[in-house]
């Protein structure tokens, strides 16, 4: 297991300390600083995996950083105020995360796309038709927007989430969308057309400041070219 520390409070960075020969994979542009002995190699990892990353909101290519000759150091920063969470993924215990939630992982893990069961729900729901699924055996770091709250759901137990607030869940959970009932609620409630229902067993991670909601909140105050 690669050694690491997370610093920075609400503007977090994860600093990793790989031993000689250990490799970390990350999305494009996530590396912030590193020791001189970290060797970078860009790799698509096969056509199918590359297309999967493209559809899940990531770059087609992953950057691999390997410590050469001696232990190294490399830091990855979050792209938005919030949290960075570490997950130890094991076979049969993968993690499903929001698009663009993946930050970095040990080489050997598999980053793929996760489709909603119902295409119509995915097209019109806030969490999107495609999410990311990370499986295998190793360490992965995930970006969370804002404060993170964790819930443990028993078998059959559900929680209802507003649009964009689902950050991650274990692969044992299931997720569906529910229409907001009542025309007045839909038109004047300000919560959109759908809520997300997540059902256990498993864990979920909820974020307090989805970047989409934040962008919508500040949009009225951004001058346009006609102003």
- Backbone torsions φ then ψ of 12, nearest 5 degrees: -80, 155
| Global pTM value | 0.82
Q: So where are the chain's domains?
A: 3-219
- What pLDDT does 53 receive? 53
3-state secondary structure of 47: helix
Mean pLDDT of the chain: 83
pLDDT at 190 over 50: no
Question: Which residues, including other chains, have CB under 8 Å from residue 193's CB and lie 6 or more apart?
Answer: 124, 179, 180, 186
pLDDT in tens, 45-104: 554 555 555 555 556 678 999 999 999 999 999 988 999 999 999 999 999 998 788 899
Per the structure block, which two tokens stand in for 105?
């992982």
pLDDT in tens, 142-180: 999 999 999 999 999 999 998 789 999 999 999 887 766
- Residue from 156, 168, 170 nearest 85 by CA: 168
End-to-end Cα distance, the chain: 54
Question: What would the mean pLDDT of 181-190 be, rounded to a whole number?
Answer: 46
The top-level CATH class assigned to 3-219 is alpha beta
């Amino acid at each position: 297991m690669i050694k690491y520390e997370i610093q920075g409070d609400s503007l977090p960075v994860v600093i990793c300390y790989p031993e000689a020969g250990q490799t970390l994979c990350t999305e494009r542009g996530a590396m912030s600083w590193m020791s001189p002995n970290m060797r970078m190699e860009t790799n698509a990892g096969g056509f199918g995996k590359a297309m999967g990353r493209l559809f899940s909101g990531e770059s087609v290519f992953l950057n691999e950083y390997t410590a050469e000759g001696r232990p190294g150091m490399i830091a990855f920063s979050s792209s938005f105020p919030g949290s960075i969470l570490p997950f130890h993924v094991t076979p049969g215990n993968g993690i499903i995360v929001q698009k663009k939630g993946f930050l970095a992982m040990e080489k050997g893990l598999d980053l793929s796309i996760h489709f909603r069961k119902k295409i119509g729900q995915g097209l019109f729901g806030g969490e999107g038709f495609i999410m990311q699924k990370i499986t295998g055996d190793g360490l992965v770091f995930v970006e969370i927007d804002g404060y993170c709250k964790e819930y443990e759901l028993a078998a059959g137990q559900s929680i209802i989430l507003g649009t964009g607030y689902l950050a991650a869940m274990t692969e044992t959970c299931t997720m569906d969308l529910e229409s907001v009932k009542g025309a007045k609620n839909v038109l004047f409630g300000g919560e959109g057309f759908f809520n997300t229902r997540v059902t256990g067993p498993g864990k979920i991670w909820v974020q307090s400041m989805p970047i989409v909601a934040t962008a919508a909140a500040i949009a009225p105050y951004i001058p346009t070219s006609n102003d």
